[in-house]
């Protein structure tokens, strides 16, 4: 006991008895504490200090606790100072000079203190400093722990430094003990995935002796983001226990990769297993319902979202998603009901509703809602103006659109993007002001993307200008060399102008590149909520005979009313009769005939299409709406067309 220092006694819980002023009592002898009890009291004090450190919320509090640590002589206790460094990091205090100085003042740092400093540098994006501390650690002969590697590997993933990541991967193997470490391997998978080397991440996964949900879901999410849903599904099927994260990854993955049916199927399976859902899951399946455009699924998912106790129906994120879904399902009135029912609204909910009005041709309603939003002092953003400009484009409101474009930066402080310029090029082009549209595309202050030139090319198709179309297409072929739609549109423009040699050159170029046109597909929902698909030229539907008869009868009535097929919609050099046959088997016409058969008289017919509606089908739908006395709603890949009494909501600015 003679070796105990004064400093040791300073943090004993039992203090020396105080001397009494009376001389009649002798001074008591000091009470010695057993060493085991001293250690226990020391651990208790450390635990209390760590708890105090964790409760600190600012630098001043941390410094007070640090001063207390110094006074108590605990500045060499790695357990305490490690927590000090980690808390400083969590409070975003720069590593230099304060947190780093804590490490420098410890004579014998342990691997956890080194790792805390490495983690701090990594979080602050100072990867080089992290590596320097790791080098110092190895030089001092201190062996790393799993947290050491995970900190540096996370930083490598954040800055996409796969080279250093591979070096640290090798270090974790060479040093030994970490080849089988679950925590390190999960971080390796994450690092390789973020750096774009998913196959390396998969190799790590395949060689892991032990895996957890993080191991599986990390790769499932990665494959889904890459669009490789086959690999994602393979991993998912092999997952022993499927949690909400894994299910959500599949639902959102299918939705994001334009596979709405699969997304809805997985969501239904998810519900059947009793796994809970969250906002991310619901947004994913809402997106799938929006893509499918079926009212049955729209109402189904709305009921799930608004189910009592879900706690999800009041969020602005889900509200915005529901607005978008109903708008894309052709029910803009239902979308507006959702909007009006939201207690909280922000720029995203307003923008979603404005875009919904825009895609249905309700430009006045979109502008009115924008003015209402501004009065509530909600500041518009880039998306808001895309909705407004799109509304003007679809309604042919040229001057209004130009004024809004001008006011974006000057009045609202919203920076113009290439998407906004796309809207203006489209606006001018549809109005026939092709020269102005071309000049804007060539002189805009930011580099135009494919959308700008695509809008100009589309305008050239409407107004039959093959010369400007050639200029626009030349830019598109450079920016989007494998986008087959651009080649087809230019070919159509040339065929309409009778420039068959140019058509042949475009067709040869497409064959040389191996480009194939996606088949036209339209789908329609029957009374029972079943979605029926139709492909152009394909007459294999069970009701094909009835569909053909309805089309022939409708064609006779339309021709008697003055309808003449727009043969320019067929970009092939063939006879007029062959062109007429092709036009009559376009997918949207097949869907229309089916809709006339299975829906009640007077009910609207809603058709969804994967490609842009052609000029002849647009003309056909206008005539059919007048003759049959039915509203026909067609959603193509550009917008909604509401045909009523021979008039389309787009005003032929489709």
Burial (CB count <10 Å: 0-12, 13-18, 19+), residue 79: middle
Helices (DSSP H) in 198-315: which residue ranges?
Answer: 198-207, 213-226, 229-238, 244-256, 260-272, 279-292, 295-305
Residue with tokens 């953003």: 381
Of 306, 334, 362, the position where a domain reaches its end is: 334
First CA to last CA distance, the chain = 95
pLDDT at 579 over 80: yes
Contact assessment for residue 596 and residue 571, using Cβ atoms and an 8 Å cutoff: no
Beta bridge partners of 521: 535
Specify the pLDDT at position 495. 86
Is 127 part of a structural domain of the chain?
Answer: no
Beta bridge partners of 116: none
Mean of the pLDDT values across residues 480-488?
A: 89
CA pseudo-torsion sign 526, 628, 641, 322: negative
Burial (CB count <10 Å: 0-12, 13-18, 19+), residue 153: buried
Number of structural domains (the chain) is 2
Instruction: Label residue 4 by pLDDT band (50, 70, 90).
Output: very low
Of 334, 356, 389, the position where a domain reaches its end is: 334
Of 300, 334, 368, the position where a domain reaches its end is: 334
Query: How many CB atoms neighbour CB 162 within 10 A?
Result: 18
289 closest CA partner among 281, 300, 275, 279: 300
Beta bridge partners of 524: 532, 607
Burial (CB count <10 Å: 0-12, 13-18, 19+), residue 86: buried
pLDDT at 294 over 90: no
Contact assessment for residue 311 and residue 324, using Cβ atoms and an 8 Å cutoff: no
Is 219 part of a structural domain of the chain?
Answer: no
User: What span, in angstroms and rounded, lies between the C-alpha atoms of 395 and 358?
Assistant: 9
For 345-397, the pLDDT digits (tens) are: 999 999 999 999 998 989 999 999 999 999 999 999 999 999 999 999 988 89
Is 281 part of a structural domain of the chain?
Answer: yes
For 53-101, the pLDDT digits (tens) are: 888 888 888 888 888 888 878 888 888 888 988 988 888 888 888 888 8
For 400-409, the pLDDT digits (tens) are: 999 999 999 9
For residue 304, give its domain range. 239-334
Is 459 part of a structural domain of the chain?
Answer: no
DSSP code per residue over 394-433: HHT-HHHHHHHHHHHHHHH-PPP-HHHHHHHHHHHHHTT-
User: pTM for this one?
Assistant: 0.76
Is 173 part of a structural domain of the chain?
Answer: no
Alpha carbon separation from 209 to 181, 183, 205, 220, 648 (Å, rounded) = 9, 12, 9, 19, 63
User: What span, in angstroms and rounded, lies between the C-alpha atoms of 353 and 367?
Assistant: 11
List the single range of 20-29, 143-152, 579-588 with lowest mean pLDDT: 20-29
Is 201 part of a structural domain of the chain?
Answer: no
Is 37 part of a structural domain of the chain?
Answer: no
Is 308 part of a structural domain of the chain?
Answer: yes
Please provide residue 634's backbone torsions phi and psi, each rounded to the nearest 5 degrees: -120, 125
For 217-262, the pLDDT digits (tens) are: 999 999 998 889 999 999 999 998 899 999 999 999 999 998 999 9
Arithmetic mean of pLDDT over the chain: 87
Higher pLDDT, residue 550 or 14: 550
């Amino acid at each position: 006991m003679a070796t105990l220092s004064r400093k040791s006694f300073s943090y004993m819980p039992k203090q020396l008895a105080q001397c009494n002023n009376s001389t009649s009592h002798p001074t008591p002898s000091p009470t010695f504490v057993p060493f085991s009890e001293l250690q226990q009291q020391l651990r208790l004090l450390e635990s209390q200090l760590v708890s105090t450190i964790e409760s600190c919320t600012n630098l001043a509090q941390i410094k007070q606790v640090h001063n207390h640590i110094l006074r108590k002589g605990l500045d060499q206790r790695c357990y305490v100072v490690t927590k000090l460094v980690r808390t400083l990091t969590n409070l975003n205090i720069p590593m230099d000079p304060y947190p780093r100085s804590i490490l420098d003042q410890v004579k014998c740092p342990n691997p956890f203190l080194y790792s805390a400093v490495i983690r701090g540098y990594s979080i602050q994006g100072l990867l080089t400093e992290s590596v320097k501390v790791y080098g110092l650690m190895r030089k001092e002969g201190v062996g790393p722990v799993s947290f050491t590697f995970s900190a540096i590997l996370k930083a490598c993933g954040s800055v996409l430094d796969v080279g250093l990541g591979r070096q640290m991967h090798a270090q974790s193997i060479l040093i030994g003990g970490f080849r089988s470490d679950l925590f390190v391997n999960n971080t390796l998978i994450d690092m390789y995935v973020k750096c774009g080397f998913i196959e390396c991440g998969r190799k790590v996964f395949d060689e892991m002796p032990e895996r957890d949900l993080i191991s599986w879901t990390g790769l499932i999410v990665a494959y889904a983001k890459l669009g490789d849903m086959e690999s994602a599904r393979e991993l998912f099927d092999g997952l022993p226990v499927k949690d909400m994260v894994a299910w959500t990854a599949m639902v959102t993955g299918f939705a994001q990769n334009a596979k709405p049916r699969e997304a809805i199927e997985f969501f239904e399976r998810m519900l059947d297993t009793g796994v809970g859902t969250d906002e991310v899951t619901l947004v994913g399946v809402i997106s799938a319902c929006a893509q499918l455009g079926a009212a049955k699924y729209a109402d189904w998912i709305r009921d799930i979202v608004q189910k009592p106790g879900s706690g999800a129906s009041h969020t602005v994120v889900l509200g915005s998603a529901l607005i978008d879904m109903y708008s894309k399902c052709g029910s803009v009135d239902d979308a507006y009901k959702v909007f009006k029912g939201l207690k909280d609204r922000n720029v995203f909910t307003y923008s979603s509703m404005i875009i919904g009005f825009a895609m249905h041709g309700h430009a006045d309603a979109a502008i009115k809602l924008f003015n209402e939003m501004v009065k509530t002092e909600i500041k518009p953003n880039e998306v808001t103006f895309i909705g407004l400009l799109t509304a003007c484009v679809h309604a042919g409101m040229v001057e209004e659109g130009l004024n809004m474009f001008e006011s974006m930066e000057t009045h609202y402080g919203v920076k113009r993007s290439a998407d906004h310029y796309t809207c203006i090029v489209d606006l001018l082009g549809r109005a026939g002001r092709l020269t102005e549209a071309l000049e804007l595309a060539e002189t805009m202050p930011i580099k135009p993307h494919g959308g700008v030139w695509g809008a100009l090319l589309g305008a050239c198709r409407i107004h039959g200008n093959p010369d400007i179309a050639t200029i626009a297409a030349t830019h598109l072929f450079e920016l989007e060399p494998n986008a087959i739609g651009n080649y087809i549109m230019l070919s159509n423009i040339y065929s309409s102008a009778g420039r068959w040699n140019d058509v042949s050159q475009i067709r040869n170029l497409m064959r040389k590149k191996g480009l194939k046109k996606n088949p036209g597909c339209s789908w329609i929902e029957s009374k029972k909520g079943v979605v029926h698909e139709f492909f152009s030229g394909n007459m294999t539907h069970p009701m094909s005979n009835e569909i053909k008869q309805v089309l022939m009868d409708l064609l006779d009535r339309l021709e008697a009313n003055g309808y003449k097929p727009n043969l320019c919609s067929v970009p092939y050099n063939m006879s007029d009769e062959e062109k007429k046959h092709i036009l009559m088997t376009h997918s949207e016409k097949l869907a229309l005939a089916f809709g006339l058969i299975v829906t009640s008289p007077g009910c609207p017919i809603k058709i969804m299409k994967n490609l842009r509606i052609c000029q002849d089908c647009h003309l056909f739908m206008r005539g059919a709406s007048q003759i049959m006395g039915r509203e026909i709603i067609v959603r193509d890949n550009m917008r909604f067309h509401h045909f009523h009494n021979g008039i389309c909501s787009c005003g032929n600015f489709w």
